[in-house]
Amino acid sequence: MKIEYIPHPEEIEIQPKDFIYVNYRKIDNYAVSGYFTFLSTAVGVKVEKIITKRLSYLGNKFKHKLHNMIHSQLIGGCGKYIESLIGLEELCDGCEKCSNIAKTCLEYGPLRLSTLQTMTYSKNYKKLHVTDKLFEDIAEYCISKSKNKEGCFKELDETILSTISCDKLVIWVNESRLHPNEETRNHMHMPREVIDIILRKWNVKSVKLNMIFYTNGGLCSVDWLQYNYFTPVRLNDPYSITEKSSDLKFSHVDVRMSDSIYCVRGFGNHHSEIIVPRGYHNFIPNIRRLFPTDKISIDLSHWFYIAETDIEKKMSTILQVVTMEKQRKLSLSMKFFVKSSIVKKVNEETNKAELRKLAPKYRHRRVNFQSCVRRSLPIDDVDQYLEEFNQEKWIGRRFQVEDIENLFNFNLNVYIKEKELEEGFDKQLLQEYPNSFVGHFYE
């Protein structure tokens, strides 16, 4: 079950609205309780997974009410067998009810420090979710409990217990936090030693980075930076200053950018070229230094901001970004969602539509995956909130760049909406441009 609040992408100061989306359907705040009852009694759903998103933007009163309704009506009712609980602490900042669920489920988080401190039991999680804010809170907690660097690291060792283990650590990175003395929103520094000790003591096997624009992480704290005990790291800092982890190794690293704006833009897929780069071309080299791995998969956004112009240039930019540092022994794959308009251009002299070519170095690889279904609310184009999310089928094609000598393989899986492919192209135009990019979608 998914319960979420959807801010408008152009909204700077977010004003709480009087509706949320439950399972992709718009529900007025006053009707939520009735809807939960309906689901658990009339429909009889068995809730195993609850994901709440961006609910910290709700007004305070409704926030608490919703938190309690989720516990009493969903978890206490049809959610007796809850396996995953994600995001709920955003509403309560960590409470006993939530930490009790953490004790029994397989996937939980993002953890607040107070919840982490209740985890003194021994347990293996399938997934644990943490945030950059938690890393900061842990660093500051350890500093506050000690008198010097040595004492601080001893405190850190006692805070992160090896009785807990998790197969996958999901790290939520807020790319739009504010520094108290700066105007620009950015991804803020994280204390490296805190991340490293978590990865080691929890015996993490794979990592997922969840890049997000809208969170109420808000102001970041800078106190810990004044102590020089911890090494500050950011995924968008110049990679040459990031030290490579010597003994850690992960089976793979996944990156989710469905809720990202800045990071996605940094990979070259936004229509606006005027925006200042934010250093995300350092992303892959930094991932390999912090979380050593030979396999990275990245899901670019399919809804907040998707590419609209010039597929040839976008694919070249992406290749340029991912090979900024020469990678050895890396298998990288990326899902890239684009509008169909990206494959055409209008010749200014003849005023006729032309089809763009496949970017240099890529070649089409026939594989049999080739479609996926995604839901989205089209609020980038239309200023309205639909009653229900659109559910759309995307058709994909794989384009590969291979460097055999360096054991580097890059698969860029490009997706276009099935609907747009069916409507968009006349056969004659496709025949006129036999080497077009979009032609591969009709083979």
The span from the CA of 244 to the CA of 416, in Å, is 37
Rounded distance between C-alpha atoms, residue 70 and residue 95, angstroms: 13
Residue 199 host element (H or E): helix 192-201
Residue number with CB closer to Zn ion (95 or 324): 95
What are the phi and psi torsion angles at 391 (to 5°)?
-115, 120
Does residue 47 belong to the site contacting Zn ion (CB under 5 A)?
no
Q: Does residue 92 touch Zn ion according to CB under 5 A? A: yes
Q: Is 123 in the site for Zn ion (CB under 5 A)?
A: no
Question: What x-and-dash track marks residues 284-313 binding Zn ion by CB under 5 A?
Answer: ---------------------x--------
Positions in 352-371 near Zn ion (CB under 5 A):
364
**Span of 132-140, 249-257, 351-359, 415-423 interacting with Zn ion by CB under 5 A:** 249-257
Minimum separation from the CB atom of position 208 to Zn ion (A): 6
Q: Segment near Zn ion (CB under 5 A), from 94-102, 257-265, 286-294, 405-413? A: 94-102
For the window 250-289, what string marks contact with Zn ion as x by the rule CB under 5 A?
----x-----------------------------------
CA dist., res. 293 & res. 207, Å (int): 10
Cα(55)–Cα(396) distance, integer angstroms: 33
Cα 143 to Cα 141: distance, rounded to the nearest angstrom? 5
Exactly one of 98, 204, 307, 416 binds Zn ion (CB under 5 A); which one? 98
How far is 242 from 233, CA to CA, in rounded Å? 7
Q: In this chain, which stretch among 10-18, 95-103, 277-285, 398-406 interacts with Zn ion, using CB under 5 A?
A: 95-103
Instruction: Please identify which residue in the block is written with the tokens 């956004």.
Output: 301
* The pair of three-digit structure tokens given for residue 159, joined into one six-digit string: 């805070």
Cα separation, 85 vs 107, whole angstroms: 6
Q: Choose the binding region for Zn ion from 21-29, 86-94, 123-131, 279-287 (rule: CB under 5 A).
A: 86-94
Nearest Cα to 411, choosing from 396, 402, 420, 400?
Answer: 400
Provide, rounded to whole angstroms, the least separation between the CB of residue 357 and Zn ion.
12
Which residue ranges make up the site for Zn ion (CB under 5 A)?
92, 95, 98, 254, 305, 364, 440, 443
